[in-house]
Amino acid sequence: MKRVVLSWVVGVLVALSPLAAAAIDPIYSAGFFSPVAIDGADPVAYFTDSAYVAGSGTHSAEWNGATWHFASAQNRMAFLKEPDRYAPQYGGYCAYAVGNGYTASIDPKAWRIVDGKLYLNYSRSVQKKWEAERADYIAKADANWPGLLAND
């Protein structure tokens, strides 16, 4: 009986895996069961504190299909007033990856604000590659992002 159930579960997962791989959520979150955007980082703090600051579930808000965490009620209110000002580019996916035509997770400590916009990267080593040709990667990512979302 255990084998039958296990076979059924594996079959369902295999059948659904192409669907999951093709779907790109508009906002990066850590996983299927965790709708918390950008690994729980406070997006407003990048602008106000010039630093990565972990958000808290105590100060959270829903926006664009994801739950956003904030370090304070003040940051939460600022975000809700102007989410497009504080939300990271490309839904919080790695800017380097989007520039290369795919999506990747992020390390919220690998970030940069350029021309008033927040960009996140997969890691600090990837961020160094992105920084070396930042303007080109931003231009490519700006062009690629709508197509990546359309594949959703």
pLDDT of residue 14: 35
The band of 132, judged by pLDDT with boundaries at 50, 70 and 90, is very high
How far CA 90 is from CA of 2, 40, 105, 130, 147, in Å, comes to 43, 16, 11, 14, 11
Pairing of strands 107-114, 34-37: unpaired
Query: Domain locations in the chain?
Result: 26-87, 88-152
Least confident interval from 1-5, 62-66, 95-99, 100-104 = 1-5
